Amino acid sequence: MKYTEEHEWLREEDDLIVVGITEYAAEQLGDIVFVELPEVGTTVSKDDEVVVIESTKSASDILAPLDGEIVEVNERLVEDPGKVNEDPIGDAWFFKIKPEDPSQMDEYMDDAAYNKFIS
Amino acid sequence: MTELKRLPLDELHRALGAKMGPFAGWDMPVQYAPGVLKEHLHCRAEAGLFDVSHMGQVILRGAGVAEALEGLVPTDIVDLPEGRQIYGLFTAPEGGILDDLMIANKGDHLFLVVNAACVDEDVAHLRRALEPEGITVEHITDRALLALQGPRAEEVLAGLAPAVAKMRFMDVAEVEIAGQPCWVSRSGYTGEDGYEISVPAAGAETLARALLGHAAVAPVGLGARDSLRLEAGLCLYGHDMDPATSPVDAGLSWAIRKVRRKGGAREGGFPGDARILSELAKGTETIRVGLKPEGRAPMREGVPLYADPESGDPVGRITSGGFGPSVGGPVAMGYVPSALSAPGTTLYGELRGKRLAVSVAPLPFVPANFKR
């Protein structure tokens, strides 16, 4: 698992990268009440705003961590945004991306570095 | 930046796990561990305890105090019976709203509760207008204010002080609760039945712990207070009303009692009376309404509203909005042209560059549960 400074986690699954937000991020955002996902098939560039999430407090974006194509989205979150608070690093993944250049993963933090980042 | 003021119950909030945040110069509990959603739903199902000690408490005394205060507030205070409370507005000479407040007749004095953000201006305003008439204006700073709200509030509070069960909505009484001399009103800011309790600051923790000792009671922060009042269709000063909006614009015409209207026994005689009485007769260009976004996306304060899904300039804007936990979807309030204010009218709120349908909705979003 890798982590971005935007508090996303990235998990490799075969040749795809699964993206979600960390427990720390979910805790900071508070109760999530709205999730808007990108369309499957969208080509994205790193740092594009691809997901909108809103908590009881405010709206935030999730950025594409890599260049690539969105190949799957977690529609369940649209119906049940509270899943993001319940299980942020498990069931509540947001999207799967097929990276153009898997080496873009190298710049992201590992567990130890992320834990240090948020402490 | 000046330092935030600490509530009398500051330590208790921290011990209860509150996330604190600034509001109107005070360090306030925004939420506790369960979070805004669960706190909101708990209040609607059981009973929530709110610390609203940031609000201003003011006592007015003197011969003719009711008549004198009517010079600042377009409601009927002269006929307010002892032991009753009424909602009022301080109006400006131009007809806008300076603040909203509760006014209680306590027999030998009037007791006011005003907004935290406005208390200094309100007290100065009261002193300027009323002291020359021989009225004393006392800003009470040694009392906390707690609100116990929800369908089980009566059961909980009556367990400590049986007399409160007999109070009706907007009754006020002095009652000893948990050994503390309390000033109680049956009112609140959630749309639920409940009480607001003024208690000496030194005894506030004793009272709060006695209330929290009941299994039905959970502490509720400012976050859920905001979503509860929004679902109840209640205005937040500085957002849904301000010096630029008149009581008629704000949909608060009901707060201007008949006796102060055209043809009433004490017609006018308050700041802005010319504009406000004329608006009561003719209506206003814009008015505050409830707004229900048709999709799931919350529309918050500042979202512009359009009459057309594609073209044209904004016709209004959202002044309060968010997710309504009891409604299970987004809810909002805002100002729209009076011609587009009928319930069911479709407007469009612009969110992230897209115009999304919103319909004008009757207020409140959740039926009030007052004990009339």
| Chain A residues in contact with B325 (beta carbon < 8 A) | 56
pLDDT tens, position by position, B64-88: 999 999 999 999 999 999 999 999 9
The pLDDT value recorded for residue B372 is 84
- Same domain flag for B242 and B304: no
- Name the strand (E) or helix (H) holding B278: helix B273-282
Tell if the CB–CB gap between A31 and B297 is shorter than 8 Å: no
Q: What angle do CA A80, B219, B88 make, to 5 degrees?
A: 100
CA pair distance A96, A78, nearest whole angstrom: 16
- pLDDT over threshold 80, residue B2: no
Mark yes or no for CB contact A59/B298 under 8 Å. Answer: yes
Interface probe for B, chosen from A27, A29, A32, A33 (most Cβ of B below 10 Å), is A33
Last residue of one domain, picked from the residues B237, B256, B283: B283
ipTM above 0.90, yes or no: no
Task: Please tell me which of the candidates A30, A33, A85 has its beta carbon nearest to residue B298.
Answer: A33
Nearest Cβ partner for B322 among A56, A78, A85: A56
> Under an 8 A CB cutoff, do B323 and A34 touch?
yes
Q: Are residues B237 and B188 in the same domain?
A: yes
- Do B353 and B249 sit in the same domain of this protein? no
Q: Above 60 in pLDDT, residue B142?
A: yes
pLDDT mean across residues, chain A: 96
Number of domains in chain B: 2
pLDDT(A4) > 90: yes
* Predicted local confidence at residue A57, as pLDDT: 87
Q: In chain A, count of helices (H) and strands (E)?
A: 4, 9
Comparing alpha-carbon positions, the chain A residue that sits nearest to B32 is: A30
For the segment B266-308, what is each residue's pLDDT rounded down to a tens digit? Answer: 999 999 999 999 999 999 999 999 999 999 999 999 999 999 9
Burial B49-73, CB ≥16 within 10 A → b, else e: bbbbbbbbbbbbebeebeebbbebb
Query: Which residues on neighbouring strands pair with residue B102, listed in sequence order?
Result: B87, B113
B175-219 per-position pLDDT tens digit: 999 999 999 999 999 999 999 999 999 999 999 999 999 999 999
Q: What is the pLDDT of residues B28-58, one digit of tens each?
A: 999 999 999 999 999 999 999 999 999 999 9
Residue B1 has pLDDT above 90, yes or no: no
Residue B146 — very low, low, confident or very high, per pLDDT cuts 50/70/90?
very high
What is the number of residues in chain A? 119
- pLDDT score of B363 more than 60: yes
Domain region containing B179:
1-283
Average pLDDT, chain B: 97
| pLDDT 10s digits, B115-133 | 999 999 999 999 999 999 9
Which domains are present in chain A? 2-102 (2.40.50.100)
CATH of the domain at B165: 3.30.1360.120
